A and B are shown apart, each in its own frame.
Chain A
Amino acid sequence: GEDVEQSLFLSVREGDSSVINCTYTDSSSTYLYWYKQEPGAGLQLLTYIFSNMDMKQDQRLTVLLNKKDKHLSLRIADTQTGDSAIYFCAESGNNNDMRFGAGTRLTVKP
Chain B
Amino acid sequence: EAQVTQNPRYLITVTGKKLTVTCSQNMNHEYMSWYRQDPGLGLRQIYYSMNVEVTDKGDVPEGYKVSRKEKRNFPLILESPSPNQTSLYFCASSLYRLSTDTQYFGPGTRLTVL
Interface of A is mostly: loop
Total interface residues in chain B, CB < 8 Å: 27
- Please indicate the chain A residues that have their CB under 8 angstroms from the CB of B106 in the complex: 42
Task: Please tell me if B56 contacts chain A, counting CB pairs below 8 Å.
Answer: yes
B31 at the interface (CB under 8 A from A): yes
Q: Interface size class for chain A?
A: 20 to 34
Are B97 and A96 interface neighbours, CB within 8 A?
A: yes
- Given A43-B105, A44-B105, A45-B102, do A100 and B40 touch, yes or no (CB 8 Å)? no
Q: How distant is A68 from chain B, measured CB to nearest CB, in Å?
A: 21
Q: Mark A1-37, 1 if CB is under 8 A from B, else 0.
A: 1001000100000000000000000000011000000
Residues of B within 8 A of A (CB): 4, 31, 33, 35, 40-45, 48, 50, 56, 58-59, 90, 92, 97-100, 102-103, 105-108
